[in-house]
Structure 1
Amino acid sequence: MCRLIGVVARHPAPVAELLGEDLEPFLELACEHKDGWGIGFRTETGLIGTVKATDRADDSTRLRQELRSWETDMAILHIRMASPRLAVSVGNTHPFGDEWAAFAHNGEIRPADVLDPLISPGLLKQAEGETDSERYYLAVREQIDQGATAAAAIASTAAAIRERAEAAISLNCLMLTPEGIFSYAEHDPDSEVIGRRGAGFFGLSYRREPDRTIVASQGWPQPAPRWQTLPEGRVAWFGRPDQGPEIY
C-alpha cells in the first residue's frame, strides 16, 4: 500500500512550499512506505512533468532537491509500499503517465492482469513495469483516448475493476492533468488490510485554504472541520484552490 498527497495552488511556488506544514508529516510515513517516491507537477508550459526514484523518501536528498526546485501550481506526491512479489524499480514506481497525466494509486487489485482486456495492445505495450497500479492507469487512459472525460474514465474503470477482479482492496487514486487533480476513493471494508490497519487507513481527505487546497491519504492528524473526508465511490476534481471540490 502507498500514501498520496496533492496540492492545487493559486500561485506557482516550489512544491515543498506548496505542501508547507503537511510535507514533513507526510514524508515521515516513509518509515513504512519506503519503496520509492514520485512527483507529478504541471510545468510552466501547461503540460505534466514527472520525476521518480526508488530510494526511501524521508532519507532522499534528491527528493528534497526536486521538491525545492520545481515551481508549479499543481502537484502530486506518492510514496510507495511495494506489494509482495513486485520489484522495487523505477518502472514500478508511481506516478505513471506522460505529458498529459500523472497517475498514482494506493491499493491492490488482484490479479493484476485482470485489467489487460480493458487496454488496447498498443497502449499495454507502453507499460513501464508490472504493477496493477499502472494497468489501472492505462485502463483509465484507454477510456480518455476514446473520448471520455477524466472523471468518467476513472469512474467507469473502477466499476469494471469491481466486476472483474478477485479482490480490489483499494482503488484510491490521484490523477494530475493540465486541468487539475482528480481523486477517487474506494476500498473493500472487509479486506485483511482494514482488519490490520483500521477503518481510516484508506480514507482520502482534503483541506481548503484561500490560496491552496491539499488532498491526501490519512496517516497524520487531520482534524475536522479543517479537514473534510471525500465520499467513497465518487470522483472529485480540484481545479482551483478557492472552489470545489466538484464531486461526480
Structure 2
Amino acid sequence: MSRMLAVLDTATAPARGDPELAQLTQDFIALSVLHADGWGVASRHQNRTEVRVGTDPAERGMGSVLASPASARLLYLRFASAGSAVKKRNLQPFVTDDVAFAHNGLLAPRSLMLATLSFDQRHDLRGDTDSEVYFAHVLRALLTRRRSRPAADTIAPIVAELRALYPEACLNALMLVSGELLAIHAPGTVGPPLAAFAARGAKALPPGHDADYNVLSTAVLPSGRRVVATSGIDVIDSHPLPRDAVSAFLPNGLTRSIAI
C-alpha cells in the first residue's frame, strides 16, 4: 500500500536543474502525511546503486538524499500492512547486486511465496514483508538469466507465476536494473485500502486514492527525464502504462513492453 516514483535520466536530459521534477518530488513527499511508515530512496550514480531508508519524517530524511545527483532514482513511501513492523528492515526499495526493487500491494498469505524459495533464500530475508519475498523471486530469476536475455523478458514469467498464486492482488513494482528502469504494471482487481486509511483517521484522502489507486502512469518531463509514478502525483501529460505487462525504459530513450 505504498506510493512509488521513479526517475530516469535519458540521453536528452540536461544536467541542470529541473523545476518540474522538483515539484513532483515535493508533491510525492507531501503524501508522507498519510503514507507515514517510513521512506526509502535508491539512487544510481557512477554505475552504482545505493539505498537510503528511514523512519524519520520524509521531508527531512528523503529531502537530504534527493539533494545529491543521480542518473536514476526510485522513491518509496510506506503505508504498513496490518501486522508488519515499522522498522528499517521492512523498508523499500530493496537493493541487491545492483538491482533495486519496490512493490505496492499486499500478497497474502506470504507463505505461498516462501514455499518455493530455497533454504538459503529464506535465510537471506531480513524482514517480514511479502514485498521482500516478491523481490527474492525476481532477483533469483535475474541472477540466473542468460547474459543476453533482457531483464523484462526474464521478469515477466515470474510475475505470471505470482499472479497464479495471488489472482486478485496488486503486483505493481518498480525496479532499477543497472541503468534500466523497469515497471511491472499488474494491478489485479483489489481496490484501494479505504478501511485502513479510515483506521488511521484519514478524513480527506489525497487525489488518486480512489478506483485508480493501483494505476501506474508514465511521462517524459520537459527536461527529457522519464518518470513513472503511482497515483496521487499530478504528472502533466502522463498516461497509464500497458496493463499486465513489464515495461522497460532505457537511458537512450528506447522503451518496450512485455506481456505477463
TM-score using structure 2 length: 0.83
Partner of residue 144, structure 1: 142
Q: Residues of 2 paired with 1:230 and 1:163: CA distance? A: 21
Partner of residue 206, structure 1: 218
Matched, 1:67 2:66: yes
Task: Tell me which of 90, 94, 97 is aligned to 1:96.
Answer: 94
Q: How far is the alpha carbon of 1:26 from its aligned partner? A: 0.9
After superposition, give the CA deviation of every residue in 1:48-102 in whole Å (9 maximum; x if it has no partner). 11111122323xx222111113x11111100100000000011100011224111
Contact persistence 2:9–2:226 (CA under 8 A): yes
Q: Residues of 1 paired with 2:67 and 2:194: CA distance? A: 38
Tell me the amino acid that sits aligned with residue 188 of structure 2.
D
Higher strand share: 1
Task: Tell me which of 235, 239, 244 is aligned to 2:250.
Answer: 239
Q: How far is the alpha carbon of 1:33 from its aligned partner? A: 0.6
SS at 2:70 equivalent: strand
Contact persistence 1:207–1:215 (CA under 8 A): yes
Matched, 1:106 2:118: no
After superposition, give the CA deviation of every residue in 1:125-152 in whole Å (9 maximum; x if it has no partner). 1112010000000000111122164213
Partner of residue 124, structure 1: 122
- Greater Cα offset, 178-187 or 140-149: 140-149
Q: Residues of 2 paired with 1:194 and 1:123: CA distance? A: 30
Q: How far is the alpha carbon of 1:47 from its aligned partner? A: 2.2
Partner of residue 36, structure 1: 38
Aligned residues: 239
Contact persistence 1:18–1:212 (CA under 8 A): no
SS at 2:218 equivalent: strand
**Structure 2 segments unaligned to the other structure (5+ residues):** 196-208
TM-score using structure 1 length: 0.87
SS at 2:92 equivalent: coil
Q: How far is the alpha carbon of 1:37 from its aligned partner? A: 0.6
For residues 14 and 124 of structure 1, do their structure 2 counterparts lie closer, same or farther at Cα, with a shift above 3 Å needed? farther
Higher helix share: 1
**Structure 1 segments unaligned to the other structure (5+ residues):** none
SS at 2:176 equivalent: strand
For residues 133 and 13 of structure 1, do their structure 2 counterparts lie closer, same or farther at Cα, with a shift above 3 Å needed? farther
Contact persistence 2:41–2:73 (CA under 8 A): yes
Contact persistence 2:44–2:70 (CA under 8 A): yes
Q: How far is the alpha carbon of 1:205 from its aligned partner? A: 0.6
Partner of residue 22, structure 1: 24
SS at 2:213 equivalent: helix
Contact persistence 1:109–1:168 (CA under 8 A): no
Partner of residue 204, structure 2: none
Tell me the amino acid that sits aligned with residue 132 of structure 2.
E
Partner of residue 77, structure 2: 79
Q: Residues of 2 paired with 1:35 and 1:8: CA distance? A: 25
After superposition, give the CA deviation of every residue in 1:183-233 in whole Å (9 maximum; x if it has no partner). 0111222x253777532100111111452111110103345xx11110111
Q: What percentage of residue pairs aligned between the two structures are identical?
A: 27
